[in-house]
Amino acid sequence: MAEKNGYAPPANLNGISRPGKGRVVVKPKNMKGTLIRLWKLTKGKRKGLGWILLLSALASAASVLSPYITGRAVTAISGRDAIIWILSCLTGLYVCDWLVKFLQAFFMASIGQRIIHSIRETLFDHIRSLPLAFFDRHQHGELMSRLTNDVDNISTTISSSLTLLLTHGFTILGIFIMMVSLSPLLTLVAMAGVAGIFVLTKLVTKKTRKLFARQQKSLGALNGQVEESISGLPLIKAFCREDEAERDFGEKNEELCRVSVKALIWSGYLMPLMNVINNLCYVAIAVFSGILFVNGSIDSIGLITSFLLYVRQFTRPFVEIANIYNNFQTAVAGAERVFEILDESPEPSDRPDACHLASCRGDIEFRHVSFGYTPDRRVLKDISVKIPAGTKAAIVGSTGSGKTTFVNLLTRFYDVAEGSILLDGHDLREYRMSDLRAAFGVVLQDTSLFAEPVKNNICYGHPEADMEQIRRAARIAGADSFIERLPMGYDTVLEQGGQELSQGERQLLTIARAVLADAPILILDEATSSVDTVTEQKIRRAMLKICENRTSILIAHRLSTIRDSDLILLIENGQIVESGTHEKLMELNGQYAQLYRTQTGEE
């Protein structure tokens, strides 16, 4: 419906995909601020998070205590009777660890889904309240990405990554405390190995981040090539360009392969080198602790056993936290994109003293109306016109002249920048928005049908209508005959927006919808622009019937469909340059007459 007239929407923001190996991590702009807002947004839906925190601490108990108990068992083997008791404790610890992790997953599943349900519902409800200007600035695919991919990223982080992050954090803290309590000197040696792993990780990821970014870019180019080749295959075959298409695909595929190999080789360095450093650290501590035992600084083989097990476990959570943190960053970046929508201003609310529009007559007046989608470019310039109630008015003009903008302002999809629009003597902004929109029945050039039965599509604006009313509306619109030929008649469920129907049949269904709505003002925006001549005549006859006894505004390129209009407005460059009946404009012999003769071939 929106005619942007030169307005160029910003580039699409690609959806954030779930990060993993070979994926680019999307970093948030303000992690702290976004987390605070996310915490406030989920207020009332976080019941049970305290239990998750406690269970996360308990879940780390097995990793923290098992090496210590194992060391005690080793000591017991060398001369004590407590080994059976110690091993029983170890078995009980692992059983409790399983139970705690099960409860952790059980509680987190419920809490996470409640939170995500709340976020998704809040976002969708806000999108529903946004003005049409917002949707002109954003592509539909981008909005769907924010409502699905971004929210799913948040869901994944809350449901799994958050619990793992807490558990690994408690594990690192617990292991560090146990290592220091066993031997501060050996802990210093272990810390040197951890520092080496951090330096290695930073150096390798600096290189792989660039390579994976190039990989994603190459993959996007390849996907674009595949999409163009498949959608344009008839054209490719018609012009015998199969070899060129294959060559282009091969070049892009080769580039993707080359970059992917480099990225995977560099990322493959990390884990083996980390294992080498970890093993060297392990050997160093084993040798050093052996020397200390021989010198008498350590009096127990069990202590050495426990410490070596702690060293094995200490670096593992750091690697896991690094991966989780990447997921966490991407989820927070997704939350920022969600908040960008939530920060958008909704449609203007009704004034406190807003008027009710119970019985609309249909008197319309534009008074010195000017408007532009951007401040630096006016689409309509000082428009003044009166359309009395019951008038059949038509708006014609070249593409981008401002025809659809005229209608967008009348239905308050946008508000005027200057001047005012009056309906029945009152400014549109004085009415309740719901009453105002209910006064209009709209038939758009781009038909909007839903994956529901035909009867539901017809009564979309009048859901309480009975079957007889639906059939009557379809007969008036000229749609009844083809509906009856459908497999299930009016109960036939349309698929993919009615793609199984012809363009003309879809248009007749939207006209039937407008007939059933029975609004006092009817707007038909290019209703016959994409149909053949026979279907055009059917639609024209339907339009004549539904335009009777009501104010109607028709936007048309085919001037033959609006000859019998009471008022024809020719808009060029945002201004009304000619107005009157068809006969009057033909006598005027101006732009309209020239345009009409060009279309009809008359001299």
Bridge partner residues of 355 (DSSP): 431
H/E segment holding residue 545: helix 533-546
- Are 207 and 150 in a shared domain? no
For 85-102, b/e burial (b = at least 16 CB within 10 A) is ebeeebeeeeeebeebbe
- Look at residue 77 in the predicted model and tell me its pLDDT: 63
- Describe the strand order of the beta sheet including 521-525 as a list of residue ranges: 440-443, 521-525, 551-555, 392-396, 567-572, 575-580
- Look at residue 205 in the predicted model and tell me its pLDDT: 72
Bridge partner residues of 453 (DSSP): 493
Question: Does any domain span residue 192?
Answer: yes
CA angle centred on 144, ends 332 and 444, rounded to 5°: 150
- Are 176 and 188 in a shared domain? no
Q: Residue 228: what residue type?
A: E
- Look at residue 16 in the predicted model and tell me its pLDDT: 35
- Are 239 and 124 in a shared domain? no
- Are 46 and 163 in a shared domain? yes
- Are 119 and 197 in a shared domain? no
Question: Does any domain span residue 372?
Answer: no
**Around Cβ 426, how many Cβ atoms within 10 Å?**
14
Longest dimension (CA), the chain: 119
- Are 333 and 239 in a shared domain? no
- Are 152 and 220 in a shared domain? no
- Are 117 and 193 in a shared domain? no
Two structure tokens written together for 559: 């001037």
- Look at residue 296 in the predicted model and tell me its pLDDT: 75
Question: Does any domain span residue 589?
Answer: no
Question: Does any domain span residue 495?
Answer: yes
Two structure tokens written together for 152: 């799913």
| Residue range(s) defining the domain that contains residue 260 | 184-297
- Are 146 and 188 in a shared domain? no
Count up the domains in the chain and report the number: 3
**End position of a domain, from candidates 463, 489, 518:** 518
Which residues of the chain register pLDDT less than 70? 1-31, 42, 44-49, 73-83, 86-87, 139-142, 159, 213, 216, 322-323, 326-327, 497, 527-536, 538-539, 542, 601-603
Two structure tokens written together for 395: 């708006």
DSSP labels for 294-345?
HHTS---HHHHHHHHHHHHHHSHHHHHHHHHHHHHHHHHHHHHHHHHHHTS-
**Around Cβ 210, how many Cβ atoms within 10 Å?**
14
- Look at residue 367 in the predicted model and tell me its pLDDT: 92
- Look at residue 9 in the predicted model and tell me its pLDDT: 35
- Are 325 and 176 in a shared domain? yes
DSSP 12: P
